[in-house]
Amino acid sequence: MRIAITGATGLIGSALARALSREGHEIVVVSRRPAAAERMAAGGGVVRVVAWDPARGVIDASGLEECDVVVHLAAESIAGVWTPGKRARIRDSRVRGTELVAGALAGLSRPPAAFLSASATGYYGARPPDTPIDEDAPPGSGFLAETAVAWEAATRAAEAAGIRTIRLRVGLVLTAAGGLLGALLPLFRLGLGGRLGDGRQVMSWIALDDVVAAVRHVIDATELSGPVNVVAPEPVTNAEFTRSLGRLLRRPTPFAVPSFVLRLLPGKMGEEIMLAGARVVPRRLEESGFRFAHPDLDGALRHALGLER
């Protein structure tokens, strides 16, 4: 297959591109950083680099002709201080970027069979820790939930054009190479790790390898469309995550950051990222036959940290 990927130089996108290339698929990289994309292309497997500039609403749509699948992952990271400008970039990169890609696909003479567009479990907002949340749950409230709703709505042009459209509600991706785990490892290795607030907020996580495998599964599972929760089947509380990571690193985790301190962070960042959570479950993935390589947290962390026997 010929598969186009936006965000192909990012954490998930680069892992996905490598995996698909190893399987013999042709990769089309959609990038606003041509130099990085060309370096990636030099590694093999990339047949085309398509330029786009989502901030300006510009994309070389002709480069997407004859693609069988488009996987849209590009978005501004939610990490960093949530100034008004940062919040605007988080929202605009998701909504405008997705509208641009979906509109371009809808206008192709030969559109792809499937459009997989990233979303996030932030769609569900903060939920009671003991309540399982599947794809049928309504959206939550707050900046991240409202952004996710608009992000998913931005796929409508592709869906209206008859393209099978899947909205991947991805949880916290675990890999030592970056993301949440990559940021926490230096602190935990120094023995400075600890829970956030009371630690009861639920973390719906997934190993990076399982994200890649889930995307591959969704591409092939033609019965799937609409929202799909891309999370492991065993969510944990922040306190459980903290104990597990400290135990595997053989470091104490005596500290706790008080909730009121986190709530002082600008733009409600601490409230929405560090103190909120939802017990999101992968119902549709499991019902469609997907099997996780790393279903439990200890196993996923061992794999990410290179501690597997």
Query: Mind listing the domains of the chain with CATH numbers?
Result: 2-171+207-230 (3.40.50.720)
Q: Which residue has the tokens 């600890």?
A: 194
pTM for the complete prediction?
A: 0.94
pLDDT by residue, tens only, the chain of 309 residues = 999 999 998 999 999 999 999 999 999 999 887 666 666 665 667 878 899 999 899 999 999 999 999 999 999 999 889 999 999 999 999 999 999 999 999 999 999 999 999 999 999 999 999 999 999 999 999 999 999 999 999 999 999 999 999 999 999 999 999 999 999 999 999 999 999 999 999 999 999 999 999 999 999 999 999 999 999 999 999 999 999 999 999 999 988 999 988 888 888 888 899 999 999 999 999 999 999 999 999 999 999 999 976
CA atoms within 13 A on the CB side of 199: 16
Phi, psi angles (nearest 5°) of residue 193: -75, 155
What lies within 8 Å, CB to CB, of 109 at 6+ separation is 65
What lies within 8 Å, CB to CB, of 129 at 6+ separation is 200, 201, 202, 237, 277, 279
